[in-house]
Amino acid sequence: MVILVDKTKQFGAFLTKARERSGYKSQRRLAIDAGISPATLSRIESGRQKPTPETLKSLSRFLRDVTYEELLEKAGVLEDPSPSEQKGKSEIRKDAITNVFFREWDKASEEKKKRTLEFLKFLNQQDDEESNKK
């Protein structure tokens, strides 16, 4: 016997686990932090409502180890895109990477921020040297 689980319910379970791994014991606290209605988050986690991309973007800022793109894919908002849609997906991926970078930046110590900036300067110098060789 094969039991099919609704994709919205699967996403709800995934989101619940992501919320808990991120240290949010209650839906209400995450909803308030993300600026969405607690009732909306409850409906999404229970599989009664499919989230909008805007809601996922808001949630992604507060969930650890989950990118905006991953939320879009798990929720079924991003399916296998056609070639013409690939550009939009890469823009979402860049946005998700930026989101993760700044979330980590905000948590970093001043020493870690200083080392990161020094590393970025080093990479830029390498790029400049590569450009001058050509």
Q: Which domains does the chain have, with CATH numbers?
A: 7-133 (1.10.260.40)
Q: What percent of the chain has pLDDT over 90?
A: 42
Enter the pTM of the model.
0.58
| Total Cβ atoms within 10 A of residue 72 | 21
pLDDT attached to residue 26: 95
Instruction: Give the range with max mean pLDDT: 54-58, 74-78, 107-111.
Output: 54-58
DSSP 8-state class, residue 76: T
- Cα separation, 50 vs 77, whole angstroms: 9
